[in-house]
Amino acid sequence: MVSTWISDVKEWASGTSETSGTSEDILQTALQQSIEGLYLSVRQRKQSLYRQNDSSKLRHRLRRKLADDKKRLNQEILKYNLLVHDSARGIDVAAVEHSLSGGSIMSALWPWEVHGMAKKKILDQVMLTRRLQEEKGILLLEMAQHCTWLQNMAVALKNKVAEEDVDKGNGGLGLRRKHSEASERLQVVLQQYKTALGPDASFLQHEEESQSGLSSPDTSEDEEGNII
């Protein structure tokens, strides 16, 4: 039954739920509406009867209508219980009588109300799961963009190192240091993301392979051009 509810709420979430149903579903829905309507009618007539003190003739007419509605209510409940073929989904007649007598009940009076609440909980979980998947996709994209940014920075510094005469002055040494720091930072970030994501870290493979070509600033200019 839960699998059926999950299917239903997925249709609700995607807006593709079918408007038509089987004849049994239609009859069941009609009985549910009839039962709820008759139940409210009985309660209202009881309240009207309690408030009516002036005319015995009016009270007699109210009692007759109340008895008719209650009889029809019991008949509809019987039809419904025979239709569902499941005591767990059937209506507890004793609970209905207790409620009409003014007693309190601890659970939902109608079984379809329980089903509705359960469906709502499942719908909430389905929507939360979808939202989580969306957030995960956004996070993976941001991780990939972060790695790409670090990689591009390391490539740019490596190119500058190749253009400099690193044996002269401190400028070349400074570029080497920056390039080394950028490469190390990229390596650390890649490792952190791989640890956090586990099997989902496969998208980082390209960045990791590219990282292997950024760790040798002594590479000749021609070799660097091939790596890039």
Query: What are the boundaries of each domain within the chain?
Result: 2-109, 134-227
- How much is the pLDDT for 38? 94
Mean pLDDT over 191-212 rounds to 73
User: What is d(CA 213, CA 220) in angstroms, rounded to the nearest whole number?
Assistant: 12
Mean pLDDT over 202-209 rounds to 66
Segment holding 29, helix H or strand E: helix 23-51
3-state DSSP helix/strand/coil % of the chain, to nearest 5: 80, 0, 20
Mean pLDDT over 82-108 rounds to 83
pLDDT of 67 over the 80 cut:
yes
- How much is the pLDDT for 227? 35
Percent of the chain with pLDDT over 70: 71
Mean pLDDT lowest among 73-87, 115-129, 154-168: 154-168
What's the burial of 54, exposed, middle or buried (CB within 10 Å: 0-12/13-18/19+)? exposed
- C-alpha 211, offset from chain centre: 38
Q: Which residue has the tokens 């390596």?
A: 187
Rg (CA), the chain: 36
Whether residue 90 contacts residue 76, with contact meaning beta carbons closer than 8 Å, is answered with: no
Structure-block tokens of residue 69: 């509605």
Give Cα separations from 75 to 43, 82, 103, 133 (angstroms): 17, 11, 22, 49
Mean pLDDT, all residues of the chain: 77
Mean pLDDT lowest among 2-16, 40-54, 139-153, 174-188: 2-16
| Position 17 confidence tier, pLDDT thresholds 50, 70, 90 | very low
What's the DSSP call for residue 16?
-
pLDDT of 221 over the 80 cut:
no
- What is the residue type of 167? D
- How much is the pLDDT for 134? 93
What's the DSSP call for residue 182?
H
Mean pLDDT over 112-124 rounds to 76
